[in-house]
Structure 1
Amino acid sequence: MDKKPNLLFVITDDQRFDTIAALGNKDVKTPNLDEIVRNGTSFVQAHMPGGSTHPVCMPSRAMIHTGKTLFRWEDHGETIPKDHVLLGEVLRREGYRTFAVGKWHNGTESFTRSFEDGGNIFFSGMWDHWNVPVCDYDPTGAYDNVKNFISNPFYESAVTRLHCDRIVPGKHSSELFGETAVKWLESYDREDPFFLYLAFMAPHDPKSCPDEFIEMYDPDSIHLPDNLAEAHPFNFSMQYHRDEVLAPYPRTPEIVRKHMAEYYAMISHMDHQLGKVIDTLKRKGKYENTIIVFVSDHGIAMGQHGLFGKQNTYDHSIRIPLIFAGPGIPKNEIRNTYVYHFDIFPTLCDLIGVQIPASLEAKSLMPALKDDKVQMRDSLYFAYADVIRGTKDRRYKLIEYRWKDVRVTQLFDLYEDPQETNNLFGKPGYQNVTSQLRERLLRYKQEWNDDRDETGKVFWSNY
């Protein structure tokens, strides 16, 4: 029997779909991601369905690891029920050696089920990239070490209890996690296939990395999209959320260019560390038999529509990069079919010849990998907390906002207006389109159990 391929699963934090040079961005420098694109298949219409809470990365990652839709957790994915089968759990049963490094935002119990080893594990959402509180692998699954920390000693004495074994001072998170992955690969001498889960914190803010990468980008040379705005046209509860106060109002081109230059620097720095991991695979003779998956948990606005965060359902925040490369995967090809990031789970099962668990709600992308004409879905569903619900087909996108006295509907023609700037709702000739999309929205509410979720109950009672 042929040996099963190794798996390298790389996930970043806050990386938008349009941030890879080989996929069309002429400003950003991503030589190692470009190589993965050339050696694999890129799904350029990959989406995450939004989030049921402010830290949308938490439910996003829960979906990825369970192959389930958004409204399947009472606590937004902070913990994952034991009856939700996990990707790492399946791979362990199939004889894979599972190792994780970096960010894990879904609780220690699900981590222990998924991985039999790990290093420099970050059990939280975000932190200072230069002083990351991390845990060593705990075979008992307890992870009960806690350290005292004063986050702002100049102005307060309040103690924060950090879930960690230690803080690694002065080493950037991308370097810490990349080096941990390299070290593990260099020492790997087993015949069993491995599943290496590498979860970077970058390019999530605070946007800071070594000067050599900052100096790669001149803010004045950054190209800006046409959908920049000084502020969002209406407040839907996000105006003063943490992500939105990272930049002042009004959002000027100068401010956005500065932030974008730092954002690209973070991506290039992460890309550089990823290159070292890939070089190690090649040096160890494992590259040709390793499937690489690259994805991000969500995108981010960075000035588009007057927003800076990801707590919305515009394409800049819900579309993400998704690339498969390795044995059995077409090289240097693009797929335009609509997919979700949680489709990764059953796709990997098909790629390595493992039965797909019955609990999954996702779809294997194998048909689309084999045939670029295959369309996996004709429409998608999106949500944010108890404020926004939306859906889109191949041409139109509907977004519904319900918050306090705010009752706003947006309708965009994605063919004519891909940057979502011209609201067609209420204009002559679009009543039937709106009605059809609203009917679809109601069907998705039932299919995804949205009306039984706490956030859904609030939204739909206001709808």
Structure 2
Amino acid sequence: MKKIIPSAILVILGAVIAQAATEKPNILFIFADDLSYETIGAHGMLDIDTPHLDTLVERGTSFTHAYNMGAYNGAVCAASRAMLNSGRSVWNACWLGESDFKMSREKDEQHMWSQQMKKAGYKTYMTGKWHVGVPPNEVFDVAVDPRGGMPEDFWNKGSDDGTKPRYYGYFRPADENDYKNGWKPWDKSNGGYWKGGKHWSEVVADHGIEFLEDAAKQDKPFFIYLAFNAAHDPRQAPREYIERYPLDRIKLPENFRPEYEFKDEIGCGKTLRDAALAPFPRTEFAVKVHRQEYFALISHMDDQIGRVLQALKETRQLDNTYIVFTADHGLAVGHHGFIGKQNMYDHSVRVPFLIVGPDVKPGASNDTPIYLQDVMPTALEVAGIPAPEYVEFKSLLPLLNGTETQHYDAIYGAYKGLQRMICKKGWKLIHYPTINENRLYNMKADPMEMNDLSANPEYAAKIEELHAELLTLSTRLNDPLDYDDPVRSWNKASPPKKKKNKKNTH
């Protein structure tokens, strides 16, 4: 005789099954662009308003020395994201593109972070900046409004009569009069972040909230990849955010200088798009204006992040969610005479890295050097699956639970064939191979990297020691550079160039 199960029991069983399906914690990954480690107000390094990110600092653990490994071209963000999503180090990720993905797809290999999360039983969502050679809709369950490297900038739009170029967003402001008569960050007529009618940071937050509301109805844990274009240039924000930072509130970086002596030799001269945003030589006024606009765009993004965090709370998913906030790399905006990120100084290679979640110690700070790309194997371990063998980065859970105190022997950095860097035990060596120049810093005594010790004979042995370790690390990471013949080796082994678009997306 067939037994009839009371409906109340069926309801309970359904709830139990649903609970079992969602026992794995959710993961909300919030990714910014061009965001230096110093830009979180709670860290106390800058006078900047980031109240919602400050709450993540209070509720979780901050990794204060998170690094990006570098880049094989001027678009540092593309290299960083290729590493992040593939788990491969910089020289092994540089081939990641359409052809590589098609080959792996034919072999039914699941090489991307989001694909691994799917295998672990997660519903995967993505919105915002992608800038990876793999189509996002092929590796995420849901990909809404994926965007390219940057909002359309104002490079060479041409004068009204068409006779000469006009650089709306570049080599500015030359002086106060130039600023008064030039474009303004809140001007929507040039498009940029307002292309489509609404500021892109607001659009990303809107989609993030929709995802969270949908995820609350699902019977699967979620992995959300929420990627802002902010605070990449053109640094456009609503006027009220600009006015929050009058120039007398803006302080020059302590290590400000008008020009970096080797800017042309290391690929950071006038021909580099990012470097051309401000006039040469750098002026105090121009740097203050750029930092004003940078801070305003960050504060505007922070408010959008606040909306997403509120939605996470209102949908009752907060307690079972890991939240990670970081960025693809830092940005100079006046430090050392640089404006962009194509250099090996901390303001450009270090990023904020905040993690909140079950069993993560609140209000904690960890100064162990890590790579930002460590978030991928960390998420996989949280999801309960091992990282594939090809993943070269390391889970942070041993650092978070106290079973590990050291993560990497040294931190490596590279920019094209022009710059190399190694950080180890409080020392940093920056090497410029094509001109055989070094910079040496004692990072504990000189965190702003203002006192170069490379010319001091007392530190010759330290330079030799670090240089030898840099060579060893370069070999281990498949660096194509021959340090004895850098120009020839780089020209021979540099990554294949993609077809150029009309728009520059660095």
Alignment TM-score > 0.5, same fold: yes
Which one-letter code corresponds to 2:203 in the other structure?
A: L
Note if 1:365 corresponds to 2:385.
no
Percent identity of paired positions between Structure 1 and Structure 2: 37
CA contact (8 A) 1:338 1:378 kept: no
In structure 1, what is the equivalent of residue 197 of structure 2? 170
Q: How does 1:425-444 map to 2 (within 5 A)?
A: 425-444=454-473
Which of these residues, 460, 473, 479, is aligned with residue 450 of structure 1? 479
Q: Which structure has the highest strand share of the two?
A: 1
Q: CA deviation at 1:380?
A: 0.8
Note if 1:398 corresponds to 2:398.
no
Matched position secondary structure for 2:325: strand
In structure 2, what is the equivalent of residue 118 of structure 1? 143
In structure 2, what is the equivalent of residue 44 of structure 1? 64
Matched position secondary structure for 2:311: helix
Q: Take 1:40 and 1:85, find their aligned partners in 2: how far apart are those partners?
A: 30
Q: CA deviation at 1:349?
A: 1.7
CA contact (8 A) 1:52 1:384 kept: yes
CA contact (8 A) 1:59 1:78 kept: no
In structure 2, what is the equivalent of residue 214 of structure 1? 242
In structure 2, what is the equivalent of residue 160 of structure 1? none
**50-59 or 210-219: which moved more?**
210-219
**78-87 or 328-337: which moved more?**
78-87
The number of aligned residues is 430
In structure 1, what is the equivalent of residue 447 of structure 2? 418
CA 1:60–1:453: 2 relative to 1, 3 Å: farther
CA contact (8 A) 1:99 1:196 kept: yes
Q: Take 2:332 and 2:403, find their aligned partners in 1: how far apart are those partners?
A: 30
Q: CA deviation at 1:252?
A: 1.9
Q: CA deviation at 1:394?
A: 2.1
Q: Which structure has the highest helix share of the two?
A: 2
Which one-letter code corresponds to 2:52 in the other structure?
A: N
**Runs of at least 4 residues off by over 3 Å:** 73-81, 150-156, 456-462
CA contact (8 A) 2:110 2:116 kept: no
Matched position secondary structure for 1:287: coil
Which one-letter code corresponds to 2:287 in the other structure?
A: V
Note if 1:180 corresponds to 2:204.
no
CA contact (8 A) 1:21 1:30 kept: yes
TM-score by length of 1: 0.87
Which of these residues, 325, 336, 350, is aligned with residue 356 of structure 2? 325
CA contact (8 A) 1:101 1:197 kept: yes
In structure 2, what is the equivalent of residue 146 of structure 1? none
CA 1:223–1:303: 2 relative to 1, 3 Å: same
CA 1:344–1:77: 2 relative to 1, 3 Å: farther
Q: Take 1:117 and 1:7, find their aligned partners in 2: how far apart are those partners?
A: 15
In structure 2, what is the equivalent of residue 270 of structure 1? 301
CA contact (8 A) 1:84 1:359 kept: no
RMSD: 2.6
Q: How does 1:67-216 map to 2 (within 5 A)?
A: 67-75=87-95, 81=101, 82=104, 85-109=111-135, 111-122=136-147, 124-128=148-152, 154=160, 155=162, 168-188=195-215, 189-216=217-244
Note if 1:301 corresponds to 2:301.
no
Q: Take 1:384 and 1:260, find their aligned partners in 2: how far apart are those partners?
A: 24
Q: Take 2:253 and 2:379, find their aligned partners in 1: how far apart are those partners?
A: 35
Q: CA deviation at 1:250?
A: 2.1
CA 1:60–1:79: 2 relative to 1, 3 Å: farther
* Residues 181-235 of structure 1: CA deviation (Å, up to 9, x unaligned): 1122223311211111110000100011111211111121122222100011223
Q: CA deviation at 1:265?
A: 0.5
CA 1:281–1:203: 2 relative to 1, 3 Å: same
Q: CA deviation at 1:352?
A: 2.8
Q: Take 2:482 and 2:222, find their aligned partners in 1: how far apart are those partners?
A: 37
In structure 2, what is the equivalent of residue 140 of structure 1? none
* Unpaired stretches in structure 2, ≥5 consecutive residues: 1-19, 164-193, 492-506
Q: How does 1:315-354 map to 2 (within 5 A)?
A: 315-354=346-385
CA 1:439–1:207: 2 relative to 1, 3 Å: same
Q: Take 1:281 and 1:79, find their aligned partners in 2: how far apart are those partners?
A: 37
CA contact (8 A) 1:79 1:106 kept: no
CA 1:121–1:319: 2 relative to 1, 3 Å: same
In structure 2, what is the equivalent of residue 138 of structure 1? none
Q: CA deviation at 1:461?
A: 7.1
Q: Take 2:295 and 2:363, find their aligned partners in 1: how far apart are those partners?
A: 23
TM-score by length of 2: 0.80
Note if 1:261 corresponds to 2:286.
no
CA contact (8 A) 1:40 1:324 kept: yes
* Residues 310-344 of structure 1: CA deviation (Å, up to 9, x unaligned): 11111110000111111121111100001001111
CA 1:15–1:358: 2 relative to 1, 3 Å: same
Q: Take 1:335 and 1:37, find their aligned partners in 2: how far apart are those partners?
A: 12
User: Whose Rg is larger?
Assistant: 2
Q: Take 1:291 and 1:46, find their aligned partners in 2: how far apart are those partners?
A: 18
Note if 1:25 corresponds to 2:25.
no
Which one-letter code corresponds to 2:268 in the other structure?
A: M
Q: Take 1:190 and 1:342, find their aligned partners in 2: how far apart are those partners?
A: 28
Which one-letter code corresponds to 2:54 in the other structure?
A: D
Matched position secondary structure for 1:9: strand
Q: CA deviation at 1:460?
A: 5.8
